[in-house]
Amino acid sequence: MKRAVMILLVFALVLSMGTAGFAADKKTYNLRIAIAVNPPHPWHEAADFLVRELDARTDGAIKAKVFGGSQLGSEETVFEEMRLGTVDMLVGGATTLVTFVPELGILNLPYFYESIDQFRKVMDPRGPVVNRFREIYEETGYGVKLLTLGGGGTRVMSNNIKTITHPDDVKGIKMRVPNNPEDAKLWSEAGAIVTAMPWNEIYSALQTGVINAFESTLSAYYGSKFFEVAKNMSNTQHIIMTSHLLMSEISWKKLPEEYRQLIDELSDEVSRIFTDKGLEFDNKIIKEIQEKYGVTVSEVDKAAFVEKFYPLHDELAARGKNEDLLKLLRETKEAVSK
């Protein structure tokens, strides 16, 4: 009897050692996700979803952490870090990286979409437009992988000197634009004096008078507390923001195939979150900034803005040598609208 008990005890000990050894051998992958803006923001909603799902669906093997508020640097800096594999993922605005990927500029065409539903269909994460941009990223050779594109809210114009309701009101205003020649052309056409600068420099530039105005999504405006320094908002809704989820190829290749497939699968949901939360945040924030922070939100003569900006589509595409992409966007928009 004692011998049988002893055998059972030894067997149990061997099993426990084996289990402990297996747990100890399980590799953990730590991923850093960079975001330029602070929460609340659709980008943070999407990133938090990724963090939760990656942890849950890999039994803790993938531990992702979000670094918001440009903690890891500007989006341009983060892009360079991703090429080295020192930052793993970036959630942000697609056209911010036009310096590296000029084709992204075509995503900022003013008043291109007739509705958010039309945008959603054109930016189907498995559709021809997003697939083409995946190919473009691969063709650059930068070593950064495009996982998906999606929405992120509509862009509006804000300033700290006057009410703007018509394109003529923009003349002479000192306006920040991203480092994107298409954006510079767009606002120069309206008469603004444009200055390209990183997102994280806007607040101080407004305080010091280097700029008077900028354009952004409502979520970005709110998260960066621009209601403290720019209390005039013009609800232009001139662009539906295109957001992206990027990953370092170095980080991607370190993961087992099953984890790569999981990230690829989750990226489709990230695209949906970008678009849905962008719309949700727009509706919530535009009310709160007026009631709680005293921001003046002006409705604009949208027909006048459309008349000013819409004819620029072909010229903006030509400036970036993106005529083929404009053709693809137009064909896809027509196809999904039938």
* 131-164 confidence digits (pLDDT tens): 999 999 999 999 999 999 999 999 999 999 999 9
Residue 160 lies in a domain: yes
Q: Is residue 267 domain-shared with residue 142, that is, in the same domain? A: yes
Collapse the DSSP code of 151 into the 3-class scheme (helix H, G, I; strand E, B; otherwise coil) and give the result. Answer: coil
Q: Is residue 173 domain-shared with residue 290, that is, in the same domain? A: yes
Q: Which of 109, 129, 122, 119 lies closest to 313, judged by CA? A: 109
Per-residue pLDDT at 8 exceeds 50: no
Residue 325 lies in a domain: yes
For residue 151, what are its two tokens? 């929405």
Bridge partners (DSSP) listed for residue 34: 67, 90
Q: Is residue 36 domain-shared with residue 85, that is, in the same domain? A: yes
Which strands sit side by side in the sheet containing 174-177, from one edge to the other?
Answer: 193-196, 174-177, 213-217, 154-159, 232-240, 296-298
Please give the mean pLDDT across all residues of the chain. 92
Per-residue pLDDT at 5 exceeds 70: no
Q: How many folded domains does the chain comprise? A: 2
- Distance of alpha carbon 185 from alpha carbon 177, whole angstroms: 10
Bridge partners (DSSP) listed for residue 248: 144
Q: Is residue 165 domain-shared with residue 86, that is, in the same domain? A: no
Residue 22 lies in a domain: no
Q: Which residues, 6 or more positions from 312, have their beta carbon under 8 angstroms from its beta carbon? A: 110, 185, 186, 189
Q: Is residue 237 domain-shared with residue 221, that is, in the same domain? A: yes
What single letter denotes the amino acid at residue 39?
A: P
Residue 251 lies in a domain: yes
Alpha carbon 72 to chain centroid, angstroms: 16
Query: Which residue is associated with the tokens 């005529």?
Result: 323
Q: Which helix (H) or strand (E) holds 122?
A: helix 116-122
Residue 14 lies in a domain: no
- Write the CA distances from 26 to 53, 61, 251, 263, 287, integer angstroms: 18, 7, 18, 19, 49
Per-residue pLDDT of 74-123, as tens digits, reads: 999 999 999 999 999 999 999 889 999 999 999 999 999 999 999 999 99
Q: Which of 103, 106, 120 lies closest to 313, judged by CA? A: 106
Per-residue pLDDT at 234 exceeds 50: yes
Q: Is residue 36 domain-shared with residue 63, that is, in the same domain? A: yes
- Distance of alpha carbon 329 from alpha carbon 128, whole angstroms: 9
What single letter denotes the amino acid at residue 111?
A: Y
Q: Which residues, 6 or more positions from 307, have their beta carbon under 8 angstroms from its beta carbon? A: none
Name the H helices within 26-74.
42-57
Per-residue pLDDT at 316 exceeds 60: yes
For residue 32, the model assigns a pLDDT of 99
Classify burial at 330, counting beta carbons within 10 Å of its beta carbon; exposed 0-12, middle 13-18, buried 19 or more.
middle
For residue 178, the model assigns a pLDDT of 87
Q: Is residue 40 domain-shared with residue 162, that is, in the same domain? A: no
Please give the average per-residue pLDDT across 173-183, as a whole number. 90
Collapse the DSSP code of 71 into the 3-class scheme (helix H, G, I; strand E, B; otherwise coil) and give the result. Answer: coil
Residue 192 lies in a domain: yes
Per-residue pLDDT at 325 exceeds 80: yes
Per-residue pLDDT of 204-226, as tens digits, reads: 999 999 999 999 999 989 989 99
Q: Which helix (H) or strand (E) holds 84?
A: helix 75-84
- Distance of alpha carbon 121 from alpha carbon 337, whole angstroms: 9
Residue 7 lies in a domain: no
For residue 26, the model assigns a pLDDT of 76
Q: Is residue 52 domain-shared with residue 85, that is, in the same domain? A: yes
For residue 179, the model assigns a pLDDT of 82
Q: Is residue 146 domain-shared with residue 288, that is, in the same domain? A: no
Residue 253 lies in a domain: yes
Q: Is residue 144 domain-shared with residue 230, that is, in the same domain? A: no
Going 106 to 124 to 145 to 72, the CA torsion angle's sign is positive
Q: What CATH number should be reported for the domain holding residue 276?
A: 3.40.190.170
Q: Is residue 59 domain-shared with residue 185, that is, in the same domain? A: no
The number of CA neighbours under 13 Å toward the Cβ of 222 is 22
C-alpha angle with apex 152: 43 to 226, nearest 5 degrees? 75
pLDDT: is 183 or 291 the higher one? Answer: 291
Bridge partners (DSSP) listed for residue 214: 158
Structural domain of 195: 154-241+283-332
For residue 2, the model assigns a pLDDT of 46
Q: Is residue 201 domain-shared with residue 311, that is, in the same domain? A: yes
Please give the average per-residue pLDDT across 270-275, as a whole number. 98
Per-residue pLDDT at 20 exceeds 70: no
pLDDT: is 220 or 300 the higher one? Answer: 300
